[in-house]
Structure formats: C-alpha cells, structure tokens
Chains A and B, each alone.
Chain A
C-alpha cells in the first residue's frame, strides 16, 4: 500500500499539469498585458494579468453536490440568508439531491457569490477576477484574441439572443478555446471574484457628470469598445448583482494564481 502510494507520488509530478487531477481540471494561462473592452481611467495602456490557472469547465451540479455534502452549512435551507437568497439551488429536488432539473454534468446555477466563493476556497482556489475572465474569454478555438473578428462576435451574440428557458447543455460540450478552456461563452453567465468592482451606472449617459454618478474617484467605468456587446452585457449583469443573488443562468468556475 505504502509502496503503491510512493509510486503514485513519484508518477504524479511526471504526469505534469496536463494529466494530474487538479491539472486536468484547470488550464494554465500565461497572462500579460491585456486590453480590456472596459475603459479603465487608471489603466489606459491595458491591465496586467499575472499567470494563472482557470477551470476548463464551469462547476457542475455533481461537483457542487459533493461540496454541499462535505459542507452542510452550504445546503439549501441551512445557508444563512445573508449568503444566499431564497432561490438558492431552487431547481434541485432536495438540499442533497439535484434531481431531474439539475443533471450531474450540467453547470450548477442558482448559486450566490458567497457560495461560489466558498466552493473555490474549499479547493484552495478562488474565483477569477473580471480581468482574468475577460482575458480568457477573448480567445476563440485558435486565436488568443478573436475579439475583432465580426463573425466570432456574431456567434457569441447569437447565444445571448437564444431563449433562456430551454434546458442547459452539459458543461464541456463546446470546443475548447485556444487556452483549453470551454464554455466561457454560450453556456452560462459566471460570477467573478470582483463582481462588485464593476461600477457601472445603469445609465451610461450619466458618465462624466459627477453629480449623477454613484461613484467617487475616477467615476464609473465606461465601455471602450462599444461593439463588444457580449462583454457589455456581462458587465452590466454582474454590476447589477448583490453577493447573495442567484439566477437561472448564473454559475461559476474557479481560478488559481500561479505558484
């Protein structure tokens, strides 16, 4: 037994990031200077993104079930209402049975930011920042930055215009992007660690008028790239949320900083 374990411990590092358990769940992203579609007053030359790892797929019902079984305080009915609104996991058959409306391989939805954050922390991980998410999501299957391609934009927008009352596909069904990450578009919306850093006025026309803005300092964010509706919609949606909110299309995935 001990020998087998030792052999395993030796084999694992050799298998490397691609085959190890955590490794296969995460893709490594190199980071670098990234031009956001958001117009940051304080980062006119782009945001700097450190190397990080991002889960290849959004967290599924099966994975979230394992988490709430290990951490009963996050089960529906037990979680303090401070951390999750009443619709938290409402589509599950019971607090510990996802059931027919939440198949094991479907991404988990109806989760609050606090729950998503706790899930990632339970793995020694964290939620990705908005910049990390936006950077990873700029890639298509072959290019790391496909955002200027009108055909690609059309494809993403087509998803947003689909009715949201149809059943969610399995996570990982779509082809991976250039980094090996699936489903950043076309499946669910995703929490980011700093969802509440996206200070966007609900009415963009208020920008530049400090009396009308809710935010001090550099004022609200504005879109640098107004044709990038997919990003605009993500930001508008995230900026409208409270940490305890849960919705039918909102899931998450975790990230890790490079060691």
Chain B
C-alpha cells in the first residue's frame, strides 16, 4: 500500500470532473471534487475489486452515505449475520430512503474472494447490486481497511477468520457517523436512526 494522497486526489478530481460534465442531472450531494475531510475513511487509498470484476479506488464510493462492513464469503456463522444485519437496515427504510443509501461489504479474505465468489453471495442472498457492493481489497491492504473501520481479525490455520463484526455508517464524504456491533435481523435502533438521518439529510 502506498500513501500518495495528493496524486490520488488529483486523479480523483479529474475523474469526477468528467463525471460531473457527463451527468449534469446527477443529484446534488457534497461535490465529489472537494478535498476529502481528514477523518474520511476514503483518505486510505484502496483498490477494491467488486462482484462484477471491476477494480476501482474505493473513493468512487464517495457521494452518498454508505453502511460499510467486513466479511468473507466462506464464513458459515457470523458473516451471514452481517449480511442479515445490512438487509435488516435496508428493509426498514422507505423506498425513497433506500435509493439514497449504499451498502458495502469488504472481504477480509481476498485470496479466495474473487469476483465470482462475491457474485455468488450477492445472488444467493438476493442483494441488489444497485445498492450493494461486495468487494475485496489487495491482500496487503486488508489490515488497513480493518484499521479505519475499527474491525479486528485474525486468520486461523484452517482458513477461517476470527473477527469482530460491525456495521459502520459513513456520510457521503466517508466520515464515520455511527457504528454498531449488534448483529442480527433486528437492527440496532440507534444505528437505524442514524442511517435514516443520514439519508434524509442529503
């Protein structure tokens, strides 16, 4: 992982300028070419490869509030619960609110979680990839992504992972607004309220 904030920021500015010109009707959020706040998770340059095999810097996720978590596809016990938790939040939003939120699951197991593995989970769990992004960072960046999200994990000898689970709500600029470690089909009420507030505010 290299930290070339300014280069990346410059590239991002050029890129988003193109986007703005191409889509003048895009809904107004905070301008995507504004400098990132210092506490934005997108300060970390990470290239994510998603369920469709597309590789991009996760700064492309900037522009709308997102619920971010980490998981891995071969996980049998807690990770399905992480997906359940994300779905539970999603289902408690109005259709209009749902349009304005994104859900991002970042794999802690890039060695096995290629695009096909991620796509399989998206299909099995019926995740609408208009809203959901399942993606894996390069192997050497996993610890940093976990670091900015406050998630702990340890790779076990049998290929499983021991890890903490959290949903992290970030605003359109990647600032952390709320987090919960309460997993399951009934959303943490405070976290849900924060999500509603975030989508209604934009």
Contact = CB atoms under 8 A, between A and B. Distances in A.
Given A82-B148, A217-B78, A217-B160, A199 B154 contact: yes
Interface of B: 1-3, 5-6, 36, 38-41, 43-44, 77-78, 143-144, 146-148, 150-158, 160-165, 181
A155 interface: no
Contacts of A83: 43-44
Contacts of B146: 196
A242 B147 contact: yes
A197 interface: yes
Given A193-B143, A215-B162, A243 B3 contact: no
From A82, A114, A121, A219, residue with most partner B Cβ within 10 Å: A82
Given A197-B153, A199-B152, A82 B38 contact: yes
Contacts of B161: 217
Contact of B156 (A73, A118, A217): A217
17 contacts: A41-B156, A73-B5, A80-B38, A114-B144, A194-B154, A197-B152, A197-B153, A199-B163, A199-B164, A214-B164, A215-B152, A216-B77, A216-B78, A217-B78, A217-B161, A217-B162, A243-B144
Report the 5 A-B pairs with minimum CB-CB distance, sorted nearest first.
A243-B147, A197-B154, A216-B78, A217-B162, A42-B157
A42 B158 contact: yes
Contacts of A219: 162
Contacts of A74: 3
A217 B163 contact: yes
A142 B28 CA distance: 67
Interface string A60-98: 000000000001011000001111000000000000000
A135 to B, nearest CB: 17
Given A73-B5, A80-B43, A81-B39, A196 B162 contact: no
A243 B40 CA distance: 14
A113 interface: yes
A218 interface: yes
B67 to A, nearest CB: 18
A218 B156 CA distance: 9
Contact of B147 (A113, A118, A217): A113
Nearest to A242: B150
B144 A117 contact: yes
Given A196-B147, A239-B152, 6 more contacts: A73-B6, A74-B3, A193-B143, A194-B154, A199-B164, A215-B152
A215 B39 CA distance: 27
Contacts of B153: 196-197, 199
Contacts of B1: 117, 121
Contacts of A197: 152-155
Given A82-B41, A199-B154, A218-B156, A194 B162 contact: no
